[in-house]
Amino acid sequence: MKGFKSKHPSTIFVFFVCLLIPSLAQAESLLVTKNIQLKSVKAAAKLTDNSQLEISLKAQKGSVVNLVPVKNNTWDLSPYHGLKVVLQNTSDKRVIPEVKLFSQKSEKWQFIDNSIYLDPGETKDLLVYFYITSEAFERDYPLIIKMKSGPNGVMSNWKGIDIANIDKISFAVLNKNKPIVSEVPSKASYLVKDIIPFTYDQLYDYPQPTSFPFVDQYGQYLQGQYPGKLKNAKQWHKREQQELADLKANPAPENRSKWGGWLKGPKQKATGYFYTKQIKGKWWFVDPDGYLFWSHGVTGIGHKGANTLITGRAHYFKDLPSKWGEYRSFYAHERFDFTQANLFRKYGKNWKEISLKRNHQRLKSWGMNTYGNWSQPENTGENKTPFTVAVHYKSNMLDEKFPDPWDKNFAKKIKQALIEKKRSENAESPWNIGFFVDNELHFYQDWSYAKIITSAKKNQPAKLFFVDHLKNKYGDINKLNAVWSTQFKSFNALLANRKELGHETIGDDGKWFYQQMVNQYYRICRDSVKSVYPNHLYLGSRVHGDTNEVVLRAAEKYADVISYNLYHRNLNDFTTRAKGLTKPLMATEFHFGAMDRGVFHTGLQAVSSQQERAQHYYEYVKSALNNPLFVGTHWFQYRAQAITGRGDGENYQIGLVDITDTPYPETIEAVRKVGYSLYETR
């Protein structure tokens, strides 16, 4: 925990540890007028006599109101976990206030943000949780190992702020890029009624001090009390009866084909397999019987989820079962699987069969129709749901997370992995929508690969290809040296070079290589899929982040669908960097999480509560349905992660069901709300 520097946490602090956060009374509002000033850009703002902030903005980039401290130039909020911002919509249309915190004077400054939906006249609390970098987290919380956050700790992420030196709070509105839907107003006004620092124990029924152990026998937060927490094994029977009654009352939406397609929609050609089609400007899948299909799904369906490290952290856990009894199969490689152990506790010795059947039941009842990436479809008997297949393989790498597409075995490795899927995942089935090959590769930019390719080893296939091209282009090494301002004695010397050369040195040759690399990759992936499964779709590589146009154009050329992991608030204004795409998009990962259910990290998109999580789910999928480019959305992920982290430490509140196999009721209500009106909305 922050402030403690023990190198032997397993032998010290086993009984009781006080965290950094002292017992704090209600913190002073940051809207004390004598301590702040306003700096507005293309916006209007004023502080009222009762220390509230009136804001009027345009729904466009650069329209922002900035709140900055006068005294000491920064706010030191290091004793806290976040800010509670009380907001009221003072306009006659719904607005989506967006609040960001900055620490620009830090050595590694970043920002953190959050947003909320506000109907006219509505007042809500927006929680802006603090994030720090992983490096800062390891420094400040030495007793929290292999986790992105711990009990009563500030969350870590790839980005973060210096909480002791926050120098700006900005207020704007979400969706500023010519939104597709008309309900987003061109102007917005809202009132900031208060800004108050908080700690988690002040908001939730969590203890202010935390003791070891902090994980109960079911993998839940031991000390925290929150709605939905399983108190004892007897509660499973009651929950089971409640869920069975719910599933019976809501078996599935009406007017759906056996595949989940739209029976009342305009019928298309039936091919026996899924394909894509653009109709009146909107992209669709078409199911094997010819009905329009929009993929409303979730990743990771199966009985995997909360597998977590025990060795070196045994003092985190209370009442773990014996490794030698009936739970022995849930231990492996110094880890324990809370997901499978809880399914065994809940369903008994036939837990695999029962839970797999339940997964299909749930999706149909929830208005979902797709098993997303990393799922275990197990489509047998009456239990059938369309699914996707993830393809991974071992290859000669050009970079840490990008294969060398000129390696002679590249296509062979992909085809071998594809053929194996016939046996392991019944991939030839017409229920298989298509294949994702790879996941979130590091495409970077052309200037990144300028350094990578020039410093690669001399027998790297991609480098051999590049140098061979340069020989053909320049003929003489002196001509290349004149263009690059280099002094290589021969092309063999260039091939043997291990020193990085930047894009400013190799110029257009680097851009050419990057384009060839990206196209070579996608072409081989497409050809490999179609050679083994000519009737199935190639769904791309699940690109992520701010993917550049070169990558998108290559995916457009070769993939049937451009899969895109999009951790956005919604997709109202999303069109990608490549305008006028002639292939559809599918949002193959997104999620939202809050801190009010005994999980220590929100995930990549934070929201203020389970109610806000539900609304954000609904709005995200609805925005994709209203966006003609999209043919589906897949939530990440079906099951809960362990609160003590998976292999890389992720311990996010992102499951549709919690660690005890209980659906999150607020989120499922939103899933049904959009799922049951899926095709009418589209």
> How much is the pLDDT for 23?
45
Tell which residue, 41, 60, 43, has the closest CA to residue 184: 60
Q: What is the 3-state secondary structure (H, E, C) of 506-530?
A: HHHHHHHHHHHHHHHHHHHHHHHHH
Tell which residue, 218, 246, 243, 214, has the closest CA to residue 230: 218
Q: What are the average pLDDT values for consecutive 10-residue runs of the chain, which has 682 residues? A: 33 33 66 85 91 89 90 89 96 92 68 89 96 92 94 89 92 67 69 96 89 96 97 96 98 97 98 98 98 98 93 96 95 96 97 96 98 92 94 96 97 98 94 98 96 97 98 98 98 98 97 98 98 98 93 98 96 88 97 97 96 97 97 98 96 98 98 98 96
> How much is the pLDDT for 9?
35
Q: What Cα–Cα distance (Å) separates residue 275 from each residue in 213, 270, 290, 348, 435?
A: 52, 10, 9, 40, 12
**Cis peptide bond N-terminal to 516, omega within 30:** no
Q: Tokens 């290349």 sit at which residue?
A: 480
Interior angle at CA 589, CA 186 and CA 363, nearest 5: 105
Give the DSSP H/E element, type plus range, for residue 101: strand 97-102
587, 571 contact by CB (below 8 A): yes
Cβ density class 577-605: b for 16+ within 10 Å, e for less: ebeebebbbbbbbbbbbbbbbbbbbbbbb
Q: Tokens 């965290």 sit at which residue?
A: 19
Q: Which two tokens stand for residue 177?
A: 């890029």
> How much is the pLDDT for 17?
35
What's the helix, strand, coil split of the chain in %, to 5?
Answer: 30, 25, 50
Give the DSSP H/E element, type plus range, for residue 564: strand 562-565
Instruction: Delineate the domains of the chain, giving CATH numbers in brackets.
Output: 33-203 (2.60.120.430), 398-537 (no CATH)
Angle, nearest 10°, between helix axes 410-425 and 503-532? Answer: 40
Pairing between β-strand 585-589 and β-strand 562-565 as defined by DSSP bridges: parallel
**C-beta neighbour count of 576 within 10 angstroms:** 21
How many Å apart are CA 443 and CA 62, to the nearest integer?
A: 29
Interior angle at CA 580, CA 577 and CA 581, nearest 5: 80
Quick: pLDDT tens for 277-303.
999 999 999 999 999 999 999 999 999
Q: What Cα–Cα distance (Å) separates residue 525 from each residue in 373, 381, 554?
A: 17, 32, 11
How many Å apart are CA 467 and CA 548, to the nearest integer?
A: 25
Q: Tokens 């094994």 sit at which residue?
A: 233
* Amino acid (1-letter code) at residue 163: I
**C-beta neighbour count of 168 within 10 angstroms:** 18
In this prediction the pTM is 0.94
How many Å apart are CA 424 and CA 377, to the nearest integer?
A: 11
Q: Which three-class secondary structure state does DSSP give residue 195?
A: strand
